[in-house]
Amino acid sequence: MIEMYPGKTNVPRRRAKLLSVTSRLVLALMAAPVATGVTAMMPAPAVAAEQQRTTQPNIVLIMVDDLGASGVGSYGGEYPTPRIDQLAREGAMFANAHATPLCTPSRTRILTGIENARNYEAFGYLNPNARTFGHVLKEAGYATAIVGKWQLSGNGFDGRVGMQPPQAGFDEALLWQVASGPAKGSRYWGPTLWNNGRTKINESGFGPDLASRFALDFITQNKDKPFFLYYPMVLPHSPYVPTPDSMDADTTKAKFTGMVAYIDKLVGQVLDRLQELGLDENTVVIFTGDNGTGVQIEGMRNGVSVRGGKGKPTLGGTHVPMIVRWPGKVRAGSQPEGLFDFTDMLPTLAEIGHGKIGPDPIDGASQVPVLTGKKDKVRDQIFMYYAPGWIHEPARFVFDARWKLYGDGRFVSLDPLHDTETEVKEMTPEARRRLKQFQAILDKAGVGPFNPVRFPMCAGKPSLKEGIAPEIAGCRRAGDSDGNE
């Protein structure tokens, strides 16, 4: 078990790599003369299990908090991200990957592979009976860990008690926001962190540094067996703060820029540790974001000024980076144009790790055929039911890389390079065809009216509208929880 708080023991890079190479050589020499005899005596299922174990790559899934495609250099963003860009050069960079516009809906979607219309119940909540990719990979023989942000055990207002990290299939955990409300504490300076069932309020230290130490230690301690590290970072979510490398930052933009640079640094630490241990050639590294950049942030993307779209059902709210490095399987520098939806993550990880999805149907499709160049795409469109029940107005919509139809009838054309949407005024034959197809999908979805509750934090407070419950109309203090959790 990884204890977060004891100090870390450092091994010189050259010595560590030499030890790793030497140990693997010794193990190979020891195994070689025995393999034929022992394996021949194994029952067929045991042989299959052993062969599977040796072909399972390690998996590291990094998901940043509130950073859309506009925040990454390789996607045309203004912020320097050299280590993330390195991943893009060495792997596949999806041009059209989409999360939901807000934190919790994206987390339930990516963890379960199920569209929110079928499994989303409340903000900050995941049903304890849900099956996650943690379960899938743990059952496939992986050592599993999660480090970063949780936000799934309940919001503290509606009485729901959601999933705890161990229930989600993770052996080890270091997390912020397992508790809700004021008890969740800080995620940055002097963080409150939940470490394998024990909560500690740190009086000093920078939360992302403690998370990075945990992540690197987990990789090191599990270097001799398949491991899965889910790393949902807390950066660069507001409040925007100086990092240890940007202590002089004094404006919102300067602080945000420093936080993006720190993300890149932490990604680099993971890549370096994998290389030091000789694991980089047998590890799949995935980098993505949980939704668009915060609306407070305006920056340049591909020469055009764009504002963050977090919380909004527009491209600025859903378009996220999705970079996958898988040496020997994914062509370096490839840029798939096919759609990647967050529901696709679970079946993709299941195929990579030889895991079983489970008995219940999911909505995602494995992207492995696209990653390995066997197909250009595995889906023709994405349907989203976005009703977070937390400040933001709900919406339902269906889209591909060119067109989008909202449930209220708005039909727009899309520009993924600049994350803009333009009302379609002149209908081409292709636009008419897609409009008809999208409408049929919305009709078939059969989802009922949206839950009117958007302000659960207003329970028991004076309503902004007389005769309407404060959970529906809002309250004077609701702005203090402007979706920033």
296 and 268 in contact (C-beta within 8 Å)? no
d(CA 152, CA 163): 6
pLDDT band at 181 (very low <50, low <70, confident <90, very high): confident
H or E element: which one contains 471?
helix 470-473
3-state secondary structure of 97: strand
Cβ neighbors of 466 (< 8 A, separation 6 or more) are none
Residue 275's H or E segment, with its range, is helix 252-276
Question: Could you give the residue range(s) of every CATH 3.40.720.10 domain in the chain?
Answer: 57-382
Question: Model confidence over 126-139: pLDDT tens digits?
Answer: 999 999 999 999 99
Cα torsion angle, 361, 367, 370, 372, sign:
negative
Residue 447: what pLDDT?
79
pLDDT at res. 20:
46
Answer whether 68's CB lies under 8 Å from 291's CB: yes
CA distances from 362 to 101, 114, 289, 447, 465 (A): 20, 5, 21, 17, 40
Longest dimension (CA), the chain: 81
Interval 179-191 mean pLDDT? 93
CATH number assigned to the domain with residue range 57-382, chosen from the 4 options 3.40.640.10, 3.40.190.80, 3.40.720.10, 3.40.50.300: 3.40.720.10
Strands 319-320 and 58-64: unpaired
Name which residue leads in pLDDT, 13 or 203.
203
Percent helix / strand / coil, the chain, rounded to 5: 35, 20, 45
What three-state secondary structure class fits 183? helix
Give CA–CA dist 397/404, Å, rounded: 7
Which of 38-42, 214-218, 434-438 is the least confident region? Answer: 38-42
The predicted-structure confidence for 8-40, as pLDDT tens digits, reads as follows 434 444 344 444 444 444 344 333 433 334 344
**Continuous H helices in 6-64:** 13-41, 44-55
Q: How many Cα atoms within 13 Å fall on the side-chain side of residue 401?
A: 13
**How far apart are alpha carbons 267 and 276 in whole angstroms?**
14
Q: Is the pLDDT of residue 458 over 60?
A: yes
Strand locations in 250-332 (E): 283-289, 298-301, 304-307, 319-320, 322-325
Quote the tokens at residue 94. Answer: 């999806």
User: Percentage of the chain surpassing pLDDT 70?
Assistant: 87
pLDDT band at 247 (very low <50, low <70, confident <90, very high): very high
Asked whether the predicted pLDDT for residue 455 surpasses 90, the reply is yes
Q: What is the pTM of this model?
A: 0.89
Q: Is the pLDDT of residue 478 over 70?
A: no
Per-residue DSSP letter, 334: B
Check pLDDT > 80 for residue 141: yes
- Residue 484 predicted with pLDDT over 70: no
Q: Which of 402, 373, 67, 121 is nearest to 235 (CA)?
A: 67
How far the first Cα of the chain sits from its last, in Å, is 29
Tokens of 62: 């990094």
Amino acid identity of residue 288, one-letter, is: T
The pLDDT tens digits of the residues spanning 100-111 come to 999 999 999 999
Kindly report the number of other CB atoms within 10 A of residue 246's CB atom: 18
| Averaged pLDDT, 47-65 | 77
